[in-house]
Structures are given as structure tokens and as C-alpha cells.
Copies of this chain bind each other. A is one copy, B any other.
Amino acid sequence: MKTEDNRLVECVPNFSEGRRPEVFAEILATIRAVPGIKILHSSMDPDHNRAVVTFVGYPEAVKEGAFQATRVAAELIDLNRHCGEHPRIGACDVIPFIPLTQIDMSDCVSLAEDVAERIWRELGIPTYLYGESGGQPEHRSLLHIRRGGFESLNHRIALPGYQPDFGGEHLHPTAGATAVGARKPLVAFNINLQTTDLTVAKTIARAVRESSGGLPHVQARGMAIRSRGLVQVSMNLLDVEAMPMKRVFQRVAEEAAARGVAIHSSEVIELVPLQAVIDSFADALQLESFSKDQILEWVLKDSP
């Protein structure tokens, strides 16, 4: 990024399309065309029927990228024809802004508000502020807004507690609504279980998530991965320093073992912080001390 602006914002929009690569390719091309943005990673999941991209850039560029991606997603995705395991309310379902360098959370909150306002004004898609941007207390978490997805929100949008921050009494007929917010970095971590019994995944999700008395900083949901004959505990880890990935994994494995179910595999969606990788390495080997400065390729990259 050749720019005078050294402030760096990360944006990780999620789109309700995980099965048509050409649609996601067009969204990615739209983002890539915005000067001052770099796409770090992207992925599609046909079971979740969802796609996600991580990009970074300076604030104005990231705002533009997020808006343009929403515009193109709204053109190409019709939620009335969309089904999938992941609850969703919009073609561009959720747009989180994450402060990376030389920028505060409060800056990301303003940025989210700008984008949310513009999406409503220019595209006619109602928007909900969430996370650190949550204007109304009920909106800080997406849980109750998302429950039942697009179809359910269609009936609730005019009710108290469901009214958008920007928008009227109706969802956009095909693009639904979009949640826009600022948040800290998180790790999306899914653990696949060797069973088709969705109850097992849901029960384990309940046991490990913070909201029902499980592990701090963990959000979890049980889902079926029908194409693979598996179920999944799909998680957001909100603080992998305070709650290491290994501990979450072990807790899920214990809960599964108690039900006679084996872990099949796990997956990280998009990116993890380097420290989480290092912590896991150091933990596995009981290393007394280890830092990124002991990773050959890392210190080589620093070479001028």
C-alpha cells in the first residue's frame, strides 16, 4: 500500500453465497479494484453457503471497498433463493471493521456508522450496528437479530428491538439487511465431529459457549455439515490470548468423548494471529520461552 496514511483497518465481510464461485469472484474483483486495499485471504463454504474475505487498507479505502462489495452482492444474490446452515439476514450479511495499526476502536465505530448509513441511503438496504458500534443495547450482539434469519426478520423488522439503525419498516426484498460494526479481532474456529447427530453438536456448543456458562470469550453453535455426513461446532473465539485455541479444542474433545463421539478434524476460517500459532507450538513442546524472532522466515522477512 503506497499511501501517506499509515492507519490500517481490517474488514472481514461475510456474504450469503458459498456455492457459486463466479459470484464471489465478482465481489472480490470489486474489492480489489479499490485503490489502497489489499485482500489478505478469502474462502467459500458450500455447507454454510457463505463466503468471507479479509482485506486491509487505510480507512477511506476500506469504507469504499466494504460499500462496493455490498452493492455488488446485492445485485448478484437473492436471499429468497438462498439456503444454508448459517443464519443470515443479508446478501452481504455482516461487515466488521477491526482496528489494526495506528487506529482506535472509536475510529472503527465511526467508520462502521458511515458505511451503515451509506448502504441504507444509496442501496436501500436497512443496516444494524453491532459490536462496539451497537447504538441500541439489543443490537450489540447479532444473536437476536439473526435468529431465524432473513425470513424471520422480515416479520419482525418493525417491532421494538428489531428496528434497524438505518432503514425503515421493510427489509430489502432480495438483499435483506446488513449488520455493520466494529470489533476486536476474532478467530473463527470450527470443529467437525464424527457423527450425523446434530443434537450432539448443539449440546456441545451449549456446553462450551460463554453465554450458557461455558468457556469465556467463546461463541459456539452446532451445525450439520450434510455434504460430509458430519456435524460441526462452529465457534468464534473472541480472545485467543485469554482462552487459547488448544483449551477450546480440548474442551470440545472432552465433551464429545463423554458422548462417545470422536473429533473428525477442525478448520480455521480466514486468519489467525501469529501469537496463537506460536502459543500452540510452545505449549505442545513445553518450551520455556519462544518468540517470533526465533522463526527463520520471519526474521528473514525483516531483512532490509
What is the interface of chain A, defined by CB distance below 8 A to chain B? 1-2, 8, 38, 40-41, 56, 100, 185, 189, 192, 245-246, 249, 263, 265-268, 270-274, 276-278, 280-281, 283-290, 292-301, 303-304
The residue that A288 contacts in the complex, of B267, B274, B277, with Cβ under 8 A, is B267
Given contacts A277-B277, A284-B284, A287-B266, contact A303 B271 (CB under 8 A): no
Closest CB in chain B relative to A112 CB, distance in Å: 20
Q: Does B283 contact A284, Cβ atoms closer than 8 Å? A: yes
The 21 sampled A-B contact pairs (Cβ below 8 Å) are A38-B303, A185-B296, A246-B284, A249-B285, A249-B286, A266-B288, A267-B288, A267-B289, A268-B287, A268-B294, A270-B294, A271-B295, A271-B296, A272-B296, A273-B297, A277-B281, A277-B295, A280-B280, A280-B284, A281-B281, A284-B284
Q: Does B294 contact A41, Cβ atoms closer than 8 Å? A: yes
Most buried by B among A100, A273, A298, A303: A298
How many subunits of this chain does the assembly comprise?
A: 2
Q: Does A40 contact B284, Cβ atoms closer than 8 Å? A: no
**Within the assembled complex, what's the spacing in Å between the Cα atoms of A290 and B283?**
18
**Within the assembled complex, what's the spacing in Å between the Cα atoms of A276 and B285?**
12
Q: Does A266 contact B286, Cβ atoms closer than 8 Å? A: yes
Closest chain B residue, CB of each to CB of A267: B288
CB neighbours (8 Å) of A245 from chain B are: 285
The residue that A299 contacts in the complex, of B2, B271, B276, B303, with Cβ under 8 A, is B271
Most buried by B among A41, A285, A300: A285
CB neighbours (8 Å) of A299 from chain B are: 40-41, 271
Closest chain B residue, CB of each to CB of A303: B38
Closest CB in chain B relative to A133 CB, distance in Å: 22
**Within the assembled complex, what's the spacing in Å between the Cα atoms of A296 and B245?**
16
Given contacts A272-B295, A277-B281, A293-B41, contact A287 B267 (CB under 8 A): yes
CB neighbours (8 Å) of A189 from chain B are: 285
The residue that A1 contacts in the complex, of B100, B276, B303, with Cβ under 8 A, is B303
Closest CB in chain B relative to A49 CB, distance in Å: 19
Q: Does B296 contact A274, Cβ atoms closer than 8 Å? A: yes
Closest chain B residue, CB of each to CB of A299: B40
Q: A271-B296, A272-B294, A274-B296 are in contact. List 8 more A-B contacts (CB 8 A).
A: A245-B285, A267-B287, A270-B294, A271-B299, A273-B297, A274-B298, A277-B278, A301-B301
**Within the assembled complex, what's the spacing in Å between the Cα atoms of A300 and B302?**
12
Q: Does A294 contact B271, Cβ atoms closer than 8 Å? A: yes
Most buried by B among A192, A246, A288: A288
